Amino acid sequence: MTKNAMPDVAVLDDEQNVSQSVEKVNLLGMSEQKLTAFFESLGEKRFRVKQVMQWMHQRGVIDFDAMSDLSKALRAKLADLAEINLPELVSEQTSEDGTRKWLVKVAGGSCIEMVYIPEGNRGTLCVSSQIGCSLDCSFCSTGKQGFNRDLSAAEIIGQLWIAAKSMDSLDPTKDRIISNVVLMGMGEPLLNFDNVVDAMNLMMHDCAYGLSKRRVTLSTAGVVPALDRLGDVTDVSLAISLHAPNDELRNQLVPLNRKYPIAELLRSAQGYLAKLPDKRRKITLEYTLIREVNDRPEHARELAALLVDTPCKINLIPFNPFDQSDYQRVSNNALYRFRDILIEAGYTVTLRTTRGDDIDAACGQLAGQVNDRTKRSQRYRQEQGLEAIRIIPG
């Protein structure tokens, strides 16, 4: 091209289209290993990884220009190639008991919920791992919303970022308002294995949120092949959603049990413990008590016998009613009788206090707004409508 010649307009258009089509990399959910590979691909030193992780996760800074200890050239390069993209905060509610719930929108338009539960000298954040849930446990409101997709690692860790930023609890050198994180929100974490593992390991990383492995808990209904792998990649605390002392009853409450029955699940959970360096660790067994379904003394005695070879503590959870369920909350007499039988059998038993039910933030009530790919939510609504038609005339 001569000095005064005009460039080919078609060539410029092609170059602009290529530039516009380059998708920026979201750094928010990247593990240390993935961030290291990214910075090495830019020809940058490894110490940049620590700097950027601390800016994102400990200082809450998502604008590269504000990362003052990065060179100007690197900041410009990051602005061109990368982003720190968070879910969109839609609403925040606070219960009378101090429980807080956030609704956030993720890519695709669906919304998910996370909940903060203060208790004594600790505060627990319950985060989601999927949009909806494919398991459809009969006592869980989330399952009735259907399923859309897995959350990315950025969307999982983004929930912690939003809650911690809102509560001024990002800096790990300060007293923590959020001291514990549990993956007990929407979804089955082990069906989103890689993203969940990356997010949990960020939660525990010294350059990110610095939480103890005892204070990050994964709760699973029992996806056994994934649970068999879990101990190879992380050592977080483990909770098992059991809810029944035998396969016949659990098949009704937790349909996944038909594929991975209780004996197989407990074998896998014991295998996870065996891989941990700390041999004093125990599994938390979660048991939702539903009136006249799984709350009888014989169920308690059967549960005590079932768990005799499993190092565990048992968390009893009174069922929290919701519109699409006919189940009822366990009576206090049945709850305490069930607890006492287990204690007499030698188990450590805790009762989960219902918190945040005035803002639908109690256990099993998280629903969000799911663009349901399964049509399950539509089916449940239709069934409710038909039931209403049958009841009203009578």
DSSP string, 20-82: HHPPPEE-TT--HHHHHHHHHHTT--THHHHHHHHHHHTS----GGG-TTS-HHHHHHHHHHE
Element (H, E) at 248: helix 247-253
Judge contact between 329 and 366, C-beta under 8 A: no
Extended beta strands in 290-389, E state:
312-318, 349-351
Would you call 294 helix, strand, or coil by DSSP? coil
Q: Which of 32, 44, 111, 113 is catalytic?
A: 113
CA count, 13 A, side-chain hemisphere, 101: 22
Q: Tell me the pairing of strands 122-126 and 111-119.
A: antiparallel
Q: Tell me the pairing of strands 88-94 and 100-105.
A: antiparallel
DSSP string, 94-129: E-TTS-EEEEEE-TTS-EEEEEEEEETTEEEEE--S
CA count, 13 A, side-chain hemisphere, 231: 18
126 is catalytic: no
Q: Which of 133, 137, 140, 363 is catalytic?
A: 363
Judge contact between 147 and 372, C-beta under 8 A: yes
113 is catalytic: yes
Q: Tell me the pairing of strands 147-150 and 100-105.
A: unpaired
392 CB contacts (<8 Å, ≥6 apart)? Answer: none
Q: Catalytic positions, please?
A: 113, 363
